[in-house]
Structure formats: structure tokens, C-alpha cells
Amino acid sequence: MKTILRRYPRVAIGGALLGILVALSLLAPWIAPYDPIALNVAQRLRPPTAAHWFGTDAYGRDVLTRTLWGGQISLLIAVSVACLSTVTGTLIGLVAGYFRAMDTVVMRVMDGLMSIPGILLAVAMLSLTKASVQTVIIAITIPEIPRVVRLVRAVVLSIREQTFVQGAMASGSRTWRILLRHILPNALTPIIVQATYIAASAVLIEAYLGFLGVGTPPEVPSWGNIIAEGRNFIMLAIWSVLFPGLFLGTMVLSINILGDGVRDMLDPRIAKRL
Amino acid sequence: MAGFLLRRIAMTIPVMLVVAIVVFLLLHLSPGDPAAIIAGDNATTADVEMIRVSLGLDKPLLTQFALWIGALLQGDFGVSVFNKVSVWTLIVQRMEPTLALAGVTMSFAVSIAIPVGVLAAWKAGTWIDHLAMGIAVLAFSAPVFLIGYGLVYEFARVWRLLPVQGYTPFSQDFTGFWQHLVLPAITLGLVFAALLARMTRSTMLDVLNEDYIRTARAKGLAPRAVLIRHALKNAAVPIVTTIGLGVALLIGGVVVTESVFAIPGIGRLTIEAVTQRDYPVIQGVILIASFVYVLINLAIDVAYAFLDPRIRY
Amino acid sequence: MTHGLRASTGFGRRVLFACAVLAGLLQPAAAAEKTLRAVVHADLKVIDPTWTTIYITNRYGYLVYDTLFAYDSKFQAKPQMVDTWTVSPDNLTYTFTLRPGLVFHDGQKVTSADCVASLKRWMAKVSAGQVLAKFVGSLDIVDKDTFKLVLKEPFALVIDTLGSPLTAFMMPERIASKPVNEQITESVGSGPFRMVKEEWRPGNKVVFARHTGYVPRKEPADYLSGGKIAKLDRVEWLYIPDANTTLSALMAGEIDYFEAPPLDFIRLLKDNPDLTVLNIDNLGVQGLIRPNSLNPPFNNFKARQALFYLIDQPEFMQAVAGDDSLYMQFCGAYFLCHSANETEIGAVRKPDYAKAAAMLKEGGYAGEKLVVLMPTDRPQYAAATTVLIAALRKAGVAVDIQSADWSTISVRRARKDPVDKGGWNLFITTQGGPDTANPITNGWFNSRCEAANNGWACDPELEALVGKWMREADAGKRHTMIDAIQARAYESVPYVPFGQFFQPIAFRKNVTGVLETAVPVYWNIDKK
């Protein structure tokens, strides 16, 4: 473990930063000084003080408290989007790459989805249903899927022609066995690396959607919502955007650094060059 | 070659059809209703119903889709349900600021990212590489609006150096055009340059690891000659591809940047149209944005095929 | 200056003339043009003023069109396009004569045929016109400048209705006589400014230029009445959705006029020596909670009354308006405080959550989740909704917050279904200006059941009181009748007012002559 951390400092730095943020978010119910939702309009838009380290927002709520709680939502979204999009994308990619009959149809649909600008697709999808954390997760997930599908399909196409797979096919192994035992393990590394980048971009996109006014429901203290509410007062109360913005940036940064580190660790071909 | 071209172009048709169906269904299944917005806050239910009928929104979904596709094939994108201005006119009006922003951003980003990326690859593993890539990862992790508001606050409010918002057409006022674009282009360019620099670096690393480069280096050729004559030449095509694919990433940033700097471009047009359910406008814009993306990818594929005869799809 | 010029000799005159020409040559014509760059509160989407109740379209109407009558600052309707008018002794026949010199932007003279067609369109489509239409027997052209309105039964408020801000805008007959279900897309009025349609950039910019053929009245401008003198050559309406950007642009002098600065910015604007902050609407804006009279528990008047005991007006107003100079500590009047129809009868001053809970229970509330609609892209509505939700919870109500963008909410509001099938219980909106100040034009007060605004307030007794009020010819008697109307409203509760606040405008110091007209207008404004 120690050697890994020494050899891959990015894993250590990214992991440590992310670890701190995760801990702060998960401990929010115990360490946050105030209630994230209760209003106190008499105290609205107060600058940072000893009582409110990050100041208060337009409803007099403590920005520090809401920022800590917001980390939970962002984490939930990051993890869910990363898992959902990679699992779905991998399944579709395996099918498309392995069964040539499905390939054309599936890939044309994926091309179509991919050619719609992701953020616009998400905005349009969010106008479909009642806003909730789940719908936001789905709206961020769908535009990410085609990229995973392409990645997995490319790996499958290159592997299925190799002798050990051809051999397994010839010996009559069940299809799902071949996919699971021979093909999937080879695709795992690029999928994991991709998953970390998706997680980072999911955190950012959640904030962008909030910024554009179509994100999670307003009573949810997500970073996107805190920033979306604060942006109306940015010239008056920069703290209501600055602090959650810094947390947001740091989380994206830590996941990205971690992703780079994991890529170097899992893919020695690239790592050797460094 | 002709056969390949035809096949490649034919492939874009089902893609565009998928886009058309997805966009149409998404919008028409959504619960919003432009008629209610047109009628306004104090209108009665009967008023809204009357407007809905006059817009043809009471017709069955399939009929509406057929009407839309039929008109589309004749080059008719329809008119905005609100101001009755043709969607094509709206898009053309909004095209210039977006193209200008995207163009200036792209040039700014490319002129920083390519040298930085090449240098980082060449000096891979040294402090130069670490520093460059460290800054890059910082820049593309930063939320666009945070950079944007930060710049507005410093340059426009505190120092009063540059205008805060808006857009001046190139033809109207040359200086004004540049003044208005500097801050948005830096905002978006920083993020984009960071991405491009990373991609350039990894592409260059691939090329630098090729045997012929190693051989050239081993033969004792001057490093600069190896870098420019061999490596950069061979990395050019993948780098251009990367830039082309980056266009899709630009679009998301453009939407947010236009919103921060009040630039009346395509991004703002779309967001406003979505929140108002101006169906013909959203359909038109997304269709055209997708079409541009598909065209760029087509151009790249074709260019590839010309440059590298081994590639056939 | 004018005097000196007149007194000067032929030689002096020639020198002056030469100087003027030189100055003209040195100074490009564009620079000499006076353009007011104004950031308005919404994007102008619909340019048919009979098609929508949206405020921005009404404000566009006042720039481009002229009106037969208009309110003065005492809310008395004064003739505007009308020169003289007479009423028959039986109070049934009104005869109007237009003043001379009225021309449309396309150069055609305004005739009585244009006015009759415009009035007919207005009576068919606009709520205030629809009220008048119920009393109208016929509307006829007498000659090219004169027309006649004959009532079926006496109606005391003919001139008031024509002069209210929901007034009829006069357009050419060929446009006004289009089918009422067809949206007007042309912009031809006879108002002091004309729309420059070639320069219209929907979503960004609307350009108006002075209507050179406009002949203003001789009287000084007073509220919406009097002489509308266009001193500006051009008015540019810009739409910038981000208020921070607009604020910066105003401070940097990139724009001249900010129509609706967020109320939290007012203090910052007041502190800036380059800017003037002016409240042009002394009646202000009323915030209101609309219960759905079709769904339980608010189909029961007792439950609706309970809502009054949830309202802590200062708390609502602080969240909506922030700065305490911008809202009233308390206003219990349905027809706005400071209006002629202000009264305190029935008002509930203090919240009492326990009482509210008891009354809700009495009204049939049994702990089910109540659906509250919350628009995320309207900050003031979202703020008030947030406070309302907190208050409901204090009274033990379970709340289901349905948040979405304005578009989705405005559709949701129109659904009459039960709550579990997509219906709703409560939403928040605002209304303002002179329309709110009387029982006919106050849209949310209307309690005509199915024909009422979304929420379908239903109280025949209240409607009967309002009917009597509008038929009463004696203004003094009408005034006392308001008490009974409001007392009844506090029982049947068409809506719950939660406070009254003000929306000032801000402009640069070199802009002068801004009128206090409630509806922002651009005549009389000058820019140095």
C-alpha cells in the first residue's frame, strides 16, 4: 500500500482530498452547525462571521451547513451516474460488439444520442418529469452512456478475434460465459478509468443544471441549487456562491487527479512513460 | 473512395433521424405548454385552450410529428410559437455571436494548448510536465461560471477595463467586438485549453513512443528536428481529430458562458426556448447543433481516409 | 438661445447656419441621436396586446399604441385620443369624437372605424373589455371622427374601464378586424414610438423609434394621461436574464435604465452617486397565495380562512423584498393599500399557527399531503413559496413541494384534477398596479367559479356584491360598498394577500423626466 502511494502520488493526493470531502459531507448531520433547511429571514445575506463562517444565504440559512450537506447530494449523484452509465454502457457495448446483427442499429442510436449536445439533452429531459434527485441522475447518465458503449465495443471488437476467445467460441462455451470470463475482464481497466472521469463531470453538470435553473428541486441543498440561488446575489453576497463553488471545484479536481492516478496504476503501458 | 464516401454520408441519415425522433418525443411528452405561457399569468383556462387550438397543439402527436418532418424536408423549420418569427431567422440572428465566441475561444485555446501539450510530452516526467498538467487539471475542474463571474468582477467592475456584458457585431464596431469577447473567450478558453493540452500531450506521447521516433532519437538526430520533423507531423492528424471532437465539449460551456456574459447566442436561445416550451425553436436548434456535430465528424473521417489509405470503415 | 437666433441679423443667421452645418458634419448623425438603452424585466415574446396578460406586452402596448382614455395621477380617466365626449341623460349612449391629427405609423389617419374595430377586439379578448361587453348593446360609427357606444343597462364605469391600464389599444381596422383567435403579428399603432421591426432580435433586443407624426395633447403629462412627448429618438429594450450582469452594466454606463432591479440590489444602487432610484408605482405589487377551491381541504371556506393565520407578513416581505423601505409592514386590503379602495375590514394581523391548525382540521384537513407549486426560475415567487411551506409545516401540514420551471407550473395550475391525478392545492403569484385596485379588474378576486382564474374561486354572493358595486353611479356610495365586498372576501377567501411591496426602477443621472406612471413609459424621458 505504501509503495503504491509513493509510486502513484496522484492516487495519494486525489484520494486524500476526496477522502476529506467525503468525510466532511458524510459527517454533515453531526458537524454542521445549523439546520440546512429552516429559514431565518431576519439573518439573510449576512457576510461571514464567527457565527456563520461562510455567511448566510437569501433565506438566512447558514452557507457552511448547506455546503456540507450539499456534498452528500453531489457524492450521491457522482457515484450513481458513474455506476449507472458504466454498467448500462458496458452491457450495451458488449451486446453491440459481440452480436454483429445488433451492432449497426445500436451504434446508430448511440451516434444519434451522442450528437445531441449533452447539456441540452439533459435540460430537455429534465423538463419531462417532476424534478427530483433521481431524474437529475438519469438526465446526466443518459448522455454519458454512448461514450462508454463506444469504448467497450472497441475493446470487444479487438478481443473477440483473438485466439483464446475464438477457441472458447469454437468449443461451444455459453455466450454469457465468454462475455463475462474472457471479454469483460479485459475491458475493465478502461471502464474504471472512464467511470472516474464521468463521476467528475457529473458533479460539474449537476452544478451547471442548477445554474441554468433546471436541476434538483430547490429544497434539496445540492451545490447546484446553492449556487443557483446565490447567483442572483453574487454582486451582494459573493460568499453564497464562492464557498460552495470552491468545494465543488475541489471535489471535481480531486476526482480528476484520482482518475489520472488510477489510470497510471492500472494501465502500466501509459504509466511506464512517466 | 467514392463508395466509401457515399456509405459514410448515408450513415448520417439514420443518425439524424434518431436525433429528430428523440428531440420531438422529449419535448412533446414534457408537461409544459407554450399556450399557457403565451396567455400569461392572469389568463383563464378558456383563453389558454383557445391559444392551444390555434397553435395546432391539440392534434395527435403522430400528426404533429408528420407535419413537422414534412415541412422540415422542404427546408421549413417552422415559426416560434410566441413571436411568430421563423425559426431559421432566429437561428441565423443568434449564430454570429456563438460562432464568434466559439471561434475566438478555439483559437485562444489551441494557441495555448498545443505548445503546452507538446512541451509537456517532450519533457514528460520533468517538473515542466508536472506543472503544466497540474495547472491543466486545475483549470478543467473549475466551474465555468466561477471563472466567469470572477473575471467580470475584477476586470469589469473593479478595474473598469472591459465591458461586462453583451455582444457587438464585427461589422459594426471592430474594437467593441474584441472588447466584448475577451472575457468570455478567456473564461471558456481556459477550460477548453486545459482539456486540449491533456489530449495533445497523450497523443504526442503515443507518437514519441513509436519505434521510428526512438530510432531517430537513438541515431542522434537533434531533438528539435525529431520533435518537429517527425513527431509533430505524425501527431498532427490525431490532434486535429481531438480538436474536432472537442467541439461537442465546447457547446456545453458555450451555453453557460453566454448566460454569464449575456451574449445573445444559440445557447441562450435554446435554454430560453426550453424553459418556455417553444417547440419549433428547440427542435430546430438541437437538430442543427447535432447536424453540425455530425458534419464535423464526417469531415474528420473523410480526411482520415484521404490521409491514411489503410482506414476503411 | 431661440430668442438670440430670432433677433440676429441676416449675417449672424448665416454664420450660425454655417456653424450648425459644420457641427453637423463633424458630429456623425448617429451620435446626435438620443437613444435610451433600457433593460426590461422580460423578453417581449408576443406583440399582440389582446393575446396575453403578460406585463411586458402591455408595456409594449403603451409605447406603440395610443388609448382613448388614460388615468391621471388621481386614477380619474382623462381623454387621450378622444377630443370630446358626451353621455345621454339616460346614461346609456356615449358619443366620442377623436381629436384631429392622429396618424398611424404607416401614415394612415386614425378614423372612428379603426377605434370601433379595436374596441370590438378588446371586448372579445381582454378581461376588462369583457366586463364592459356585457353591458354594451351596440357600437357604431357616426362619421369618420365620431363613434357611439350604446348600453343595454346603465354601467357606471364605462370611462374608467376605457382608461384603466388594461385599456384598449387603438390599431388600424384591417388589423383589429382579424379573427380574434388569430394572433396579430404586425406592429402598427398611433403611439409616440414605433417598433423598428427589422432590428427586433427576439430574446435580446427590441428597438423603438420616435413616431414623427405623433401630435401630443397640450396638457402636461400626468400619470398615463396628458401630452405624450417623445424626447428620445430611440428606445432600445434589452433583455438580460442575469441581474448581476445588468447591475454591472448599469454601473459601468453600458445601459441607461434598469426596469426591474432585484429588490436586494436597491440599497447598492441608491448608494451609487451616478444613479437615481425611483419608485414609479405608488400602489406597488401585491403578493398572493391562491388556494384551489376544487380540491379538499380548500374547497371548504374554513380551511381557506385558516391560511390567513399562517401569514407573518414581515417575514414573507423580508424574503421577497429584503430592504424594509421597499415593503409595507402590514397591508390587509384586497384592493391595495394607498388606493381609493383601501380598507382594513376583516384583516388578520398576526400569525397563529395553532389556530390555523385547528381551523384546517375543522375545514376537513386530515393530515394528507398538500401539493404546493413552486416555480424555480422566478426568484420572488420561489422565496415566498419557501416561506409559505415553512409556515404550513409549523401548523402541522404535510407538504408535497412540486417544483419545476415556470412553464411547467403554469400548465399544472390550469389542471382541475384531484391532487393524486396531477392537481394541486396552493401556489403563489403577484399582481400590481391600478388593475389590482378595484373588484372588476383584479383578476384573482373574480369568483365566478368555472370562469374564474386558475383556482376557480366560487362565491355567487361575492359576485353579487361586485355586480351591485359596478352598477352604482354614485362614487361615494361605491366607496362604502367596498367594505362589504372585502368583509365577504375575508370569509370566502378567493385568495390570501401576503403583503404589498414596491418595485422601483433605476437609471443613470443623465436620464431625466421619468414619469411615475406605474406602467413604465418612455415619453417625457430625456437623456443628456
Give the gap in angstroms from C-alpha A89 to the nearest C-alpha of chain C.
Answer: 29
* Burial label, C479 (beta-carbon count in 10 A; 0-12, 13-18, 19+): middle
Nearest CB to B141: which of A205, A214, A252?
A: A252
pLDDT confidence of residue B309: 56
**Are residue C152 and residue C232 in the same domain, yes or no?**
no
Q: What is the dihedral of CA A31, A33, A39, A41, to 10 degrees?
A: -150
pLDDT confidence of residue B303: 74
Beta-carbon separation of B141 and A118 below 8 A: no
The confidence band for B307, taking pLDDT boundaries of 50, 70 and 90, is low
* In a domain? residue C56: no
A218 contacts on C by Cβ (under 8 Å): 374, 376, 382, 386, 401, 403
Q: What is the dihedral of CA C260, C265, C266, C271, to 10 degrees?
A: -130
Cβ–Cβ under 8 Å, residues B154 and B265: no
**Are residue C294 and residue C413 in the same domain, yes or no?**
yes
* In a domain? residue C494: yes
A249 touches chain B (CB under 8 A): yes
Q: Which residues contact A225 (CB under 8 A, 6 or more apart)?
A: A70, A210, A215, A216, A218
Domain that holds residue C168: 69-176
User: At residue A272, does pLDDT exceed 70?
Assistant: no
Region of poorest pLDDT, from B166-175, C235-244, C278-287: B166-175
pLDDT digits (tens, 9 = 90+) for A144-189: 999 899 888 888 888 877 777 788 878 877 778 888 888 888 888 8
Task: Give the predicted TM-score (pTM) of the model.
Answer: 0.83
B93 contacts on C by Cβ (under 8 Å): 201-202
What's the domain count of chain C?
Answer: 3
Q: List the alpha helices (DSSP H) in C194-265.
A: 243-251
A58 touches chain C (CB under 8 A): yes
pLDDT confidence of residue A212: 78
Size of interface A-B (CB pairs under 8 A): 139
Q: Which residues contact C143 (CB under 8 A, 6 or more apart)?
A: C112
Cell of B99: 460562432
Average pLDDT over residues A1-23: 85
pLDDT digits (tens, 9 = 90+) for C182-201: 889 899 999 999 999 999 98
Give the gap in angstroms from C-alpha A55 to the nearest C-alpha of chain C.
Answer: 16
Cβ–Cβ under 8 Å, residues B148 and B184: yes
d(C-alpha B190, C-alpha A242), whole Å: 19
C444: domain CATH number is 3.10.105.10
User: At residue C305, does pLDDT exceed 90?
Assistant: yes
**Are residue C276 and residue C289 in the same domain, yes or no?**
no
Average pLDDT over residues B55-65: 82
pLDDT confidence of residue A53: 92
Instruction: Provide, rounded to the nearest whole percent, the portion of chain B with pLDDT above 90.
Output: 6
Cβ–Cβ under 8 Å, residues A16 and A198: no
| Residue carrying the nine cell digits 482530498 | A17
**Are residue C470 and residue C521 in the same domain, yes or no?**
no
Please count the other Cβ atoms lying within 10 Å of the Cβ belonging to residue C42.
Answer: 15
pLDDT confidence of residue C5: 39
pLDDT confidence of residue A63: 93
**Extended strands (E) in C68-110:** 69-71, 77-79, 82-87, 93-98
User: At residue A60, does pLDDT exceed 90?
Assistant: no
A1 touches chain C (CB under 8 A): no
**Are residue C427 and residue C510 in the same domain, yes or no?**
no
Q: Which of B21, B141, B192 to mutate to test the interface with A (most CBs of A within 10 A)?
A: B141
**Are residue C407 and residue C339 in the same domain, yes or no?**
yes
User: At residue B234, does pLDDT exceed 80?
Assistant: no
A131 contacts on C by Cβ (under 8 Å): 376, 403-404
Q: Which of these three, C176, C205, C229, is where a domain ends?
A: C176
Q: Which residues contact C521 (CB under 8 A, 6 or more apart)?
A: C59, C62, C63, C224, C228, C515
3-state secondary structure of C290: strand
pLDDT confidence of residue B45: 73
* In a domain? residue C201: yes
**Are residue C404 and residue C470 in the same domain, yes or no?**
yes
pLDDT digits (tens, 9 = 90+) for C464-475: 999 999 888 888
Please count the other Cβ atoms lying within 10 Å of the Cβ belonging to residue B153.
Answer: 17
Give the gap in angstroms from C-alpha C354 to the nearest C-alpha of chain B.
Answer: 33
User: At residue C207, does pLDDT exceed 50?
Assistant: yes
**Are residue C376 and residue C410 in the same domain, yes or no?**
yes
Between residues C432 and C396, which one has the greater pLDDT?
C396
pLDDT digits (tens, 9 = 90+) for B123-153: 888 899 989 988 998 888 888 888 888 887 7
Q: Which residues contact A91 (CB under 8 A, 6 or more apart)?
A: none
* In a domain? residue C94: yes
**Are residue C400 and residue C486 in the same domain, yes or no?**
yes
pLDDT confidence of residue C39: 94
pLDDT confidence of residue C450: 83
**Are residue C90 and residue C29 in the same domain, yes or no?**
no
**Are residue C403 and residue C327 in the same domain, yes or no?**
yes
CATH 1.10.3720.10 in chain B, residue ranges: 88-312
* Domain at B88-312: CATH code: 1.10.3720.10
Beta-carbon separation of A127 and C407 below 8 A: yes
Beta-carbon separation of C382 and A218 below 8 A: yes
pLDDT confidence of residue C28: 45
- Strand partners of residue C140: C148
Tell me the one-letter amino acid at C511: V
The confidence band for C6, taking pLDDT boundaries of 50, 70 and 90, is very low
User: At residue B160, does pLDDT exceed 90?
Assistant: no
B84 contacts on C by Cβ (under 8 Å): 183, 185
User: At residue C302, does pLDDT exceed 50?
Assistant: yes
Q: Which of these three, C141, C176, C211, is where a domain ends?
A: C176
Q: What is the dihedral of CA C58, C62, C65, C70, to 10 degrees?
A: 110
C521: domain CATH number is 3.40.190.10
3-state secondary structure of B33: coil
Beta-carbon separation of B30 and A124 below 8 A: yes
User: At residue A269, does pLDDT exceed 70?
Assistant: no
* In a domain? residue C64: no
pLDDT confidence of residue C27: 44
Q: Which of these three, C117, C148, C176, is where a domain ends?
A: C176
A268 touches chain B (CB under 8 A): no
Q: Which of B146, B157, B165, B278 to mutate to test the interface with C (most CBs of C within 10 A)?
A: B165
Average pLDDT over residues C407-431: 85
Question: Count of residues for chain A?
Answer: 274
pLDDT digits (tens, 9 = 90+) for A126-150: 876 667 888 899 999 999 999 899 8
Q: What Cα–Cα distance (Å) separates residue C124 from each residue in C47, C353, C454?
A: 18, 45, 20
pLDDT confidence of residue C356: 95
pLDDT confidence of residue B27: 76
The sign one gets for the Cα dihedral B173, B175, B179, B182 is positive
Beta-carbon separation of C404 and A38 below 8 A: no
Average pLDDT, chain C: 89
Beta-carbon separation of B261 and C127 below 8 A: no
